[in-house]
Structure 1
């Protein structure tokens, strides 16, 4: 029987010798495995005799089913004997490594196409002569000793070994450098603590000096009173004695004149006595600095650790890609003649595209800013240190006063601000945002988030250390509330029921946040000095601006595509100015 195909001869027996010497026919594939079985057929494509089992498999296997096969009656009755230059029909003594796929078979072949070491089963099932260039290992290993390939492999081994040693040494050096940086950081902590102690000592000394100055003033005033009283008493006693003497001696004329003069003198002395008795001797009590008291109550760290540079060699130090271009427009000076302190812009809200309202924490003021005219139009004192501000309507705003535990409502026009009612709350309120008449307020002491109506009724109360530790700023929109938490280093997204649905946790010191268009928000990182654009689901963020000084808060104007932000550095060059950037 014959089945026609178009496949090439099997490579292992393709080099049959032109010899007149013939052998008894046997199955050549089985002979490779050390078994000599009688042949029951012949494949003209593979040029091999096959036993009954191999003959049947040859017809079934998809790689050989189209080969031309001759049955026992039509197959060649004799086969050529191999010579020393032909295929090795014996197994080398060195071929003793088991195949990883077929543990009972030894590796004997190499596939050049797949660069794999193979056993005979691998060759039969996956690397047939029609698909791959396969060689019997003893045939191709004759000249391997001291060959170029052998030397190349050794050089590559040496190269990788040297690389491993270099990486190991570099790792040891970088580990030592990292450990030293932390040791230095601990030293900086102690230095910082020492500076704090020194500053507190100075403040204590200044306060004690003020107390001593008050004491000295009181002593001087009391001595003056005592001296005046003693002088008056002495003068009155002398006059009394003189009048009595005139009366005793019967000098009526002189007595009359003296009594009239004494009568006038008594009126003057009564006035002096009234002045003395009206002297108000005050009692004093110590009133702690509000900011220092808040600092002591606040559960915040002494500082944070930030990475100086990436430790991995040949890797970019930035994991973020800027998606917008920020171009600086201008800076607006916000300090006025009525300010006693350096400015601290802790909150901002857009009034109109040309007007901005800010809170100045240190000067206890709310200011109306003309963005185009770059000046302060009007300011009012709110009798407390304001933190954040939000728009309630087109002309009304709400300001948080943490230490007064209240929210102050303010009315605004194009040229003036005015105070309205105040709303008491049950904690030190910091961040505030309003959406459709609902106020979202963050509290740092204790840490919580509340939703209130404009009358002060608490609609929802979200507390728990697992959610917040030190929530400072909030922004709200239709579906979500975003909260920046200083201690946790996170921006958290919650729905209006308080369920957390996203956390952005790659910031060191998140502070002011503002909602932008395109479903993102801008966030200030006080510690890193960068502004990040964070996705609305808080899954990723891109650095928008970097190399900035201690960022406090930020505000976005959608109509003009302008981003405002402030710094709090204790340096007038930065703190007294509002920064304006145009985004594209």
Structure 2
């Protein structure tokens, strides 16, 4: 803009028109710069040193690795302070919002499923705004991220999984995978989709082409699930699958080949919904009827209530933790905003 205004090749009339364009465009550019500045956060790094330093110094093996560290506090002991809600209803929404699913796409960017408005929404947690919206052919339930800025959402009544792209923060449709009815929970790992079903309760493992590889379901002598609404995968080694079983008020830990490793219960948790890992061995679980959010620690098998009805929760369905802002974000049924709590 500056070089255009200073150009000797332009007439006075052309310079005047250029100045008018600058006057219109400059506020937008300054606003974008301000938004970008707010996203620039310091990141902490931790060096992991190998304990046998002497052996390493005598060999060609590197002394350790450096990992980016998004610090996650001890969620059981921190004080959670209520922050202003994030309003997620848009001008295109005809109904009150019903947030059934959420997943962090990248630091500060949260992907939501809005069941009553047949849509998925991308929320910038830093600027507290809905930046993108994609209309779906039916009411969604669960959502998961896929590498290369892709995502997948379940459409239970449509018996379908819709894939879509989120490149550049803008949504575009991908292919559709036809599945059985009542698909709800979904997670992606090792190039496979794990999908849970409420009718004939089971989990199907399938490729992105929809080819079923294996199925985890009840045996004649034992019922594996009752209502497996949500799934997540732990980052432990080896990884394990967590299933919130609404019908049995429990959270099951399964091996990746479907064997039950552990069952977690607590009298304070009723009708578990979304389950999500926020740190290796630390998971959050929503209680729809108990009106709370519980922290599940894999090591001791304990559940600790960290948010409750007194914190303003009403039918919580989804929960996410954003390490970028150190905030818990809770999506609820028939509510136009996300509840926000900062550590």
Same fold, TM-score > 0.5, yes or no: yes
Q: Is 2:302 aligned against 1:540?
A: yes
SS for the counterpart of 1:330 is: strand
TM-score by length of structure 1 reads 0.43
Q: Does 1:338 align with 2:98?
A: no
TM-superposed CA distance for 1:466, in Å, is 1.6
Q: How is 1:491-502 mapped onto 2 (pairs within 5 angstroms)?
A: 491-502=251-262
Distance change in 2, residues 1:447/1:537 (3 Å) = farther
Among residues 209, 214, 234, which one is paired with 1:455 in the alignment?
209
The structure with more radius of gyration: 1
Deviations 1:94-149 (A, max 9, x none): xxxxxxxxxxxxxxxxxxxxxxxxxxxxxxxxxxxxxxxxxxxxxxxxxxxxxxxx
Aligned to 1:467: 224
Is structure 2 residue 312 aligned with structure 1 residue 555?
no
Aligned-partner Cα distance in 1 for 2:108–2:132? 14
- 2:122 is the alignment partner of 1:368: yes
Instruction: Tell whether the 8 Å contact from 2:154 to 2:186 is kept in structure 1 after alignment.
Output: yes
CA distance in 1, matches of 2:185, 2:339: 21
String of CA shifts for 1:222-267, please: whole Å, max 9, x gaps: xxxxxxxxxxxxxxxxxxxxxxxxxxxxxxxxxxxxxxxxxxxxxx
Instruction: Please list the CA deviations of residues 187-213 of structure 1 after superposition, one character each: whole Å capped at 9, or x if unmatched.
Output: xxxxxxxxxxxxxxxxxxxxxxxxxxx
**Mapping of 1:508-523 within 5 angstroms?**
508-523=270-285
TM superposition shift of 1:518: 4.5
Within the alignment, does 1:576 sit opposite 2:336 as a pair?
A: yes
| Between structures 1 and 2, the one with greater strand share | 2
Spell out the pairing of 1:99-498 with structure 2 (5 A cutoff).
322-464=76-218, 466-477=223-234, 478-498=238-258
Greater helix proportion:
1
1:528–1:461 CA distance, 2 compared to 1 (3 A): same
Using the alignment, how far apart are the partners of 2:204 and 2:321 within structure 1? 24
Q: Distance in 2 between matches of 1:525 and 1:577?
A: 18
Q: Which runs of 5+ in 1 are unaligned?
A: 1-320
- 1:402–1:428: 8 Å Cα contact kept in structure 2? yes
Runs of 4+ in structure 1 over 4 Å off: none
CA contact (8 A) 1:324 1:544 kept: no
Cross-structure match for 2:289:
527
In the alignment, is the contact (CA less than 8 A) between 2:118 and 2:137 conserved in 1? yes
Post-superposition Cα deviations, 1:369-403, rounded to whole Å, max 9, x if no partner, equal 12222121221111100101100114100000111
Spell out the pairing of 1:23-102 with structure 2 (5 A cutoff): none
Distance (Å, rounded) in 1 between the aligned partners of 2:206 and 2:77? 36
Q: Structure 2: how far apart are the matches of 1:558 and 1:431?
A: 23
Which ranges of structure 2 fall in alignment gaps of 5 or more residues? 1-74
> Equivalent residue of 1:446, what SS?
coil
Structure 1 counterpart SS, 2:90 = coil
What is the rounded CA distance, in whole Å, between the counterparts of 1:338 and 1:542 in structure 2? 39
1:546 CA drift (Å): 1.4
- TM-aligned CA deviation for residue 559 of structure 1: 4.1
Indicate if the aligned counterparts of 2:241 and 2:253 stay in contact, CA closer than 8 A: yes
User: Alignment partner of 2:210: what SS?
Assistant: coil
Q: Deviations over 1:481-500 (max 9, x none)?
A: 00001111110000011111
How far apart, CA to CA, are the structure 1 residues paired with 2:197 and 2:248?
A: 15
Cα deviation 1:282-337 (Å, max 9, x = unaligned): xxxxxxxxxxxxxxxxxxxxxxxxxxxxxxxxxxxxxxx94333223331111111
For CA contacts below 8 A with separation 6 or more, give which structure has more relative contact order. Answer: 2
Structure 1 CA distance for aligned equivalents of residues 341 and 104 of structure 2: 15
SS of match in other structure, 2:247: coil
